[in-house]
Structure 1
Amino acid sequence: MFNAPWICSRCLSRSLRLIQQKSWSQQLRFSSTALSPEVSISPVLLNRARSIADEHASLTSKLAESFNPKTAKRVGELATTATALKEWDKAHESISELNALLEDSSTDSDLRSLALEDLQTTTASLSVLSENLKQALIPRHPFADLPCLLELRPGAGGDEAGIFANELLRMYTMFCANRGLRATLLKKESENAGASGGSEDRLAEAVMEIETPGSYETLRTEAGVHRVQRVPATESKGRTHTSAVSVVILPSFPRNGEEGDGELNFDDPNSDFYIDPREVNVEKMRASGAGGQHVNKTESAIRLTHIPTGIVVGMQDSRSQHENRRKAWQLLRARIAQQRREAREEEMVKLRRGAMGGVGKMGRGDKIRTYNFGQNRCTDHRSGLTLHNLVDIMEGGEGLKKIMASVRGWLVDQEVGNVFAEEQMKLARETDKAKGNS
């Protein structure tokens, strides 16, 4: 039998570690030289980031000379991108310096070992820094810091759609309670509520106000068509029915327009969200449904019609006409603001598609999520996430939170694609202009 020479286990471990470090060093030496900005992040996006950083530096210098509120606000908006780019550049500089140290034959073994560890750590962090930089390039949604209104309307599916709409209202109410978001029900109408045999379980329409600032950003993942697949309680043959509910997320503006910031000030005629009162037809009427003699004798209900767009808002939930008027105006402003915002976004989508087949956008009429009770499954069709815990989701628990987080990740990818498409369009225009001048 062949007798292998005895080797100290400690020495063997040390030798293997040195071999692994040498192999890792060689891999990094070749990969890190190729690890240029073009590899870890698109040159187009990097060019956008450097332009923003230059603007940030220029405005910061101006701000040091004389204070200007608008300049200060703009500096704050650009700071995130400038900081993310600075950290990204710092990581690349560190990788270059560490590679140079490892390639230097005069570097001693201890320093080489430390440099190798730093190189591994810095390289591993580069993907996170690149992702942070991409997210920093995404323009913040103009309604992101606002409270929001959540609208629910049953769609196809008859009674089952109304029942599921009521369950979704409960789900979002519990979600807000679990997350500490202040929520108030502005409007709730049940199908056939005024007729005999009407059921409070079948929702016709509901509007909930989430008063916490920033709730628009939290809940905008929920806008779209929610589909339910299950056997209704009224189904005698055990057949699975498919129903749908539309969820709309709208911005909720301050009650006093002057509290709004700049372009969000709906009392300012120069604001995108200003509504000329002369373009709104106001009707006073008696409320319908439960309420006794007070409902029958007073005109407490209000209906507003925005003539240019045809948007109609009715409100009768309160016994006070003044309160119904306030709520109706709040909802009308929100719907018109969202419509104007969507029109601008759709115009950008058309420009991107026309220029280079750029990234599109899911609208409020797109099916975004399916709740399959037979399979205990909830699938979001944007992020692709599927969870098998419907009870927790319908109670506004961690499952719903996970789904919403996955959609936010999907939104980031979509918006990064939009930024990329816009930069490509900009470069194409500059190229065409240069050719025309030559």
Structure 2
Amino acid sequence: MVKEPSTDPELRSLASEDLPQATRDLEALSTNLKKSLIPVHPFAHLPCLLELRPGAGGDEAALFASDLLRMYQVYCKSHGLQCKVLSIDTAPSVGAEDQIQEAVIEILSPGSYERFRGEAGVHRVQRVPATETKGRTHTSAVSVLVLPNFPNEVAQDNPNEFNDPNSDYYVNPQDVRTDTMRASGAGGQHVNKTDSAIRLTHIPTGTVVSMQESRSQHSNRTSAWQVLRARLAQARREAREEEMAAMRINAGVKRTGRGDKIRTYNWQQQRVTDHRSAITLNRLDDVLEGGNSLDEIMTSVKEWLASKDLEAMIIDEETASKQKL
């Protein structure tokens, strides 16, 4: 109507005024339609654990892990999400504070898994380290894992989840070896006298979880089981998704895995780019402060995930229809 030469000028003017709002309404309807068509993720309602592990880059990667840890903590605080650091493993660093080797954040608020699952993957940082004398930009990386956080006790309305071998929640205690040891690192006299640290090894998969944050062996054991159950459940879910992805790959539907680079943080340009949703913001400080810019990125990734889920669902339907013929 706006572009039609025969349209009345007054009507064209009114249509031009309404067009931006109509476009926004159409985009909102399209987003809501996608949401209504896509099945809810089985872990969507759960709290979550975020695991941060520095990769290539040495001390610089460990420093970036500290930046991301703080970013998520501030984000949770500003959004009223209850979170705490479940464990931090550090290693001595020459001329600097102990550097993070692994950190686990527990976000207790229900629905946190759905909110944060788009953060899983490799986060890359580009900046000039303080120790760099020639001003060269270094690239480092931190891997972020998002795990479902299951309750420590079986829910009354679903008592069989932990005891059902077919459930993602299930872990056979006979498959888990428990080792106790003395805690290492800072902690005063206590760490030298008490075997409070716990290490769980899931023998079939080789998954190992160590916990020594608390002075209580019971507390460390509970936290270790919490992380072990989360890692195994996520691994089972990912294994099923990989099987489905293998069938969809010929149709051109590719999902981002935990080893894929998902986001780059460039200090010199004050730029953050998410490589999935293709959003780029030149507001690095606000992102690292867990501000609205991080929300904007996470929302764009959520929309990207929804579009990929919809593509996958269409492929599945087409495949099922062909098999019936």
Tell me if both proteins adopt one fold, taking TM over 0.5 as the criterion: yes
Report the Cα offset of residue 290 of structure 1.
1.2
Q: Distance in 1 between matches of 2:242 and 2:102?
A: 27
Amino acid at match of 1:367: K
Residue 49 of structure 2 is aligned to residue 149 of structure 1: yes
**Equivalences for 1:4-403 in 2 at 5 Å?**
16=8, 128-192=28-92, 199-200=97-98, 202-259=99-156, 261=158, 265-353=161-249, 356-403=250-297
> How many residues end up aligned between the 2 structures?
314
Q: Secondary structure in 2 aligned to 1:207?
A: strand
Amino acid at match of 2:8: L
The answer to whether the Cα contact below 8 Å between 1:184 and 1:209 also exists between their aligned partners in 2 is: yes
Q: Provide the residue aligned with 1:404 in structure 2.
A: 298
Q: Secondary structure in 1 aligned to 2:215?
A: coil
Q: Distance in 2 between matches of 1:302 and 1:409?
A: 40
Q: Distance in 1 between matches of 2:274 and 2:81?
A: 23
- Identity, % of aligned positions: 57
Report the Cα offset of residue 133 of structure 1.
2.7
Amino acid at match of 1:228: V
Report the Cα offset of residue 295 of structure 1.
1.1
- Structure 1 pair 168–19 and aligned structure 2 pair: CA distance change class (3 A): closer
Report the Cα offset of residue 135 of structure 1.
2.3
- Structure 1 pair 142–262 and aligned structure 2 pair: CA distance change class (3 A): farther
The answer to whether the Cα contact below 8 Å between 1:302 and 1:314 also exists between their aligned partners in 2 is: yes
Residue 320 of structure 2 is aligned to residue 423 of structure 1: no
Q: Distance in 2 between matches of 1:126 and 1:289?
A: 57
Q: Distance in 1 between matches of 2:66 and 2:24?
A: 47
The answer to whether the Cα contact below 8 Å between 2:175 and 2:202 also exists between their aligned partners in 1 is: yes
The answer to whether the Cα contact below 8 Å between 2:122 and 2:144 also exists between their aligned partners in 1 is: yes
Amino acid at match of 1:318: S
Considering fraction of residues, name the structure with more strand.
2
Report the Cα offset of residue 259 of structure 1.
4.8
Q: Secondary structure in 2 aligned to 1:368?
A: strand
The answer to whether the Cα contact below 8 Å between 2:34 and 2:307 also exists between their aligned partners in 1 is: no
Report the Cα offset of residue 269 of structure 1.
3.6
Considering fraction of residues, name the structure with more helix.
1
- TM-score normalised by the chain length of structure 1: 0.68
Greater RCO between the two (CA within 8 Å, min separation 6)? 2
The answer to whether the Cα contact below 8 Å between 1:154 and 1:165 also exists between their aligned partners in 2 is: yes
Amino acid at match of 1:322: H
Report the Cα offset of residue 345 of structure 1.
0.3
Amino acid at match of 1:218: R
The answer to whether the Cα contact below 8 Å between 1:262 and 1:271 also exists between their aligned partners in 2 is: no
Q: Deviations over 1:174-202 (max 9, x none)?
A: 00001000001110122228xx86613x2
Structure label with greater radius of gyration: 1
Gaps of at least 5 residues in structure 2 are: 1-6
Q: Distance in 2 between matches of 1:267 and 1:301?
A: 27
Q: Secondary structure in 2 aligned to 1:292?
A: coil
Q: Provide the residue aligned with 1:48 in structure 2.
A: none
Report the Cα offset of residue 418 of structure 1.
0.5
Amino acid at match of 1:418: A
Q: Provide the residue aligned with 1:72 in structure 2.
A: none
Q: Distance in 2 between matches of 1:426 and 1:379?
A: 37
Report the Cα offset of residue 393 of structure 1.
0.6
